[in-house]
Amino acid sequence: MFLRFDETKATQAASFLLSLRGGRMHYIKLIKLLYLADRAALLKWGAPITKDRFVSMSHGPVVSNILDLITKKINKPVWAEFISEPLGDDEIELRREAPTDRLSKAEENLLREIFTQFGHRNRWDIINNVMHKLPEWKDPQGSSIPIKIREILEAGGEDEKEIRAVLNELRATSDAEEALSNAKC
């Protein structure tokens, strides 16, 4: 199942976390914090914040599309307006704060909670002591392996009934977004 990635909302979430850190952070740490926020939102509300695709990589789970926005030369009209390319020590910084109109207050609070819990740790500590211990992560041996939403829900202790309900709701949301997108064309 593919959720429709929302570059604007992902940019707002990244900008929010960067602003909590003074506007600058190593991009790997940002990727990890965003994954942890999406994971927590999925387990708490049945829907991730960024609607990104999740994959296991050598340094743990990542939000794949956001990683591409940071590291690849691709069209990123919203992201590039607010967040820099990697600088010096692969840190990225805010060009200017993004609005937060696509984030609910609950999502802002969850992002703040994730930052409070993990923001003081360096990227290697997060990778080795958090990301590599998540049950849904599998060592891809230098490649990447998709992480299914079902795997995150199972790792979070959800029962089969709840997993099916979440997946059905996400599928319905995805179908509705697709129908709206097609109607605009």
pLDDT tens-digit readout, 25-55 = 999 999 999 999 999 999 999 999 999 999 9
In this structure, what are the phi and psi dihedrals at residue 61, rounded to the nearest 5 degrees?
A: -65, 145
End-to-end alpha-carbon separation of the chain, Å? 23
Closest of 23, 5, 20, 43 to residue 108, by C-alpha: 20
Strand, coil or helix: 63: strand
Model confidence pTM above 0.85: yes
- What are the E-state strand segments in 77-116? 91-93
**Residue 114 · residue 126 · CB < 8 Å:** no
pLDDT tens-digit readout, 109-133 = 999 999 999 999 999 999 999 999 9
The answer to whether residue 1 scores a pLDDT higher than 60 is no
Q: Across the chain, what does the average pLDDT equal?
A: 94
